[in-house]
Amino acid sequence: MTITVYVVDDSAVVRQTLMHLLQGDPEITLMGSAPNPLLAATAIRKQRPDVLLLDIEMPGMDGLTFLRQVMEEMPIPTVICSTLTEKGSKVALDALAAGAVAVVAKPRLGLKQFLEDSRRELLQTLKSAARSKPRAAARPAAAATTPAAAAPRAPVAGLHALSVNKPVVLGSSTGGTQAIESVLMALPSDAPGIAIVQHMPEKFTAMYAQRLDQLCAMHVREARDGDRLERGVVLIAPGGRHMTLRKAGGQYYVNVVDGPPVNRHKPSVDVLFRSAADCAGRDALAIVLTGMGDDGARGMKLMHDRGARTVAQDEATCVVFGMPKEAIACGAVDEVLPLQRVARAVLEFDQRG
C-alpha cells in the first residue's frame, strides 16, 4: 500500500519539482497539489491524504492558519516546507507547536537543485510522517510570547533538588519540539542542567530555544562552544553542529563542533550520548523522546552499560515511536514512561544523590 501525499505550495516550481521527486518513489503516490490552502481544503475533504507537505508563507490563507484548521477538523500528518529566513523559522516553529510533525528547510535561491539533492531525506521524512500520530496543540502557539507564559513553574510536589551537579542528556526528533516543551515546563528553576539534541534544521534552534526560555522556569538557550552545563540551565544543540559533553574541574561543559552527519543527523543524539558516557558515567541521566529512526540508541546503550540511568518515552504518548523503540530493543533503557512522567523522573534521579 502506497502513501498518498498532497502538496500545498504557492510556487509552481516547487510543486513541479516535488511532483517529479515523489513520482520516482514506488512507495509514494502524489494525490494532488494546490497553490493555496483554500483549494487544498476542498480537495482533502473529498479524499484524505496520508501526509500533507505544506508551505507556510502563502498569500490569502497562510499555511499556519490552514494547519490549525486541519488539526482541529481531521488531524493529518503534516510536514512543513519552510524557507531559511527569520520569519520562516518563527512560523515553522509555530507550526510544530500547532501539530506539524517535521520541518524541511528550503532556501530562497537554488530551490530546485536543493530539493533534488535532499530527495532521500525528504522521502524518508514523508514516510515516517505517514506513520505518526499527529496531535493538535493543547493551547494556541501564540501563548509562547505572552508574559503569563513565562511565569515560573512550581517544583514537583514532594521532591527537592539537591546541589550535586548531575547532567541530564536528552535526544528527540519528530514530535520532539512539543514533547521537550512539555517536559521542561514541568521542571522547576533549580532542576539539573540539561543538554538537548533535537533534530532541527540550522537557524531554527536559536529561535526554538528563545521560545522555550519564555515558557519555562529554567533558562534555555542555544548552546555555544564552552558553555557550562549548570543547574537551572538547558542547552540546545545548534542545528547543523554536533554537541558533546565534557567534564573539567568537577563541572560539565559542552563543546559545539563541526563534523560529518552521524546516523544522517547533525546534531546527532548518539554523539551527545557517547560523550556523556565517557565523561559522566553513572552520574548522568539519558532520556530519549519521540522521533523517527534509531539515532541515540547505541549511545544510550553505552551510557546504560556504564551505569547511567536511562529513560525512554512510551509508545502511547509518542508522535513517532522509532527512536525510543530502537533504544528499548537494544537493551539500553531502564524505564519506559509516558511523557507526563518524564519530568518527575528527572527530579527523582536528582534526589538520589
Find the catalytic residue in 173, 227, 242, 350.
173
- Contact (Cβ atoms closer than 8 angstroms) between residue 194 and residue 169: yes
How far, in Å, CA of 124 to CA of 119, rounded?
A: 9
The answer to whether 182 is a known catalytic residue is no
How far, in Å, CA of 167 to CA of 279, rounded?
A: 10
Q: What is the DSSP string of 254-320?
A: EEEE----BTTBSS-HHHHHHHHHHHTGGG-EEEE-S-SS-TTHHHHHHHHHTT-EEEEE-GGG-S-
* Count of alpha carbons within 13 angstroms of residue 231, beta-carbon side: 12
Helices 37-46 and 63-73, packing angle to 10 deg: 20
Q: Which of 1, 5, 39, 40 is nearest to 19 (CA)?
A: 5
Grid coordinates of 280: 559522566
Find the catalytic residue in 9, 50, 94, 199.
199
Q: Which of 124, 85, 120 is nearest to 105 (CA)?
A: 85
Find the catalytic residue in 9, 25, 94, 295.
295
- Contact (Cβ atoms closer than 8 angstroms) between residue 201 and residue 177: no
The answer to whether 173 is a known catalytic residue is yes
How far, in Å, CA of 9 to CA of 13, rounded?
A: 9
How far, in Å, CA of 216 to CA of 218, rounded?
A: 5
The answer to whether 295 is a known catalytic residue is yes
How far, in Å, CA of 352 to CA of 102, rounded?
A: 36
Residue with cell 500528518: 77
Cβ count near 119 (within 10 Å): 16
How far, in Å, CA of 178 to CA of 161, rounded?
A: 25
Helix intervals (H) in 201-248: 205-215
Report the catalytic residues: 173, 199, 295
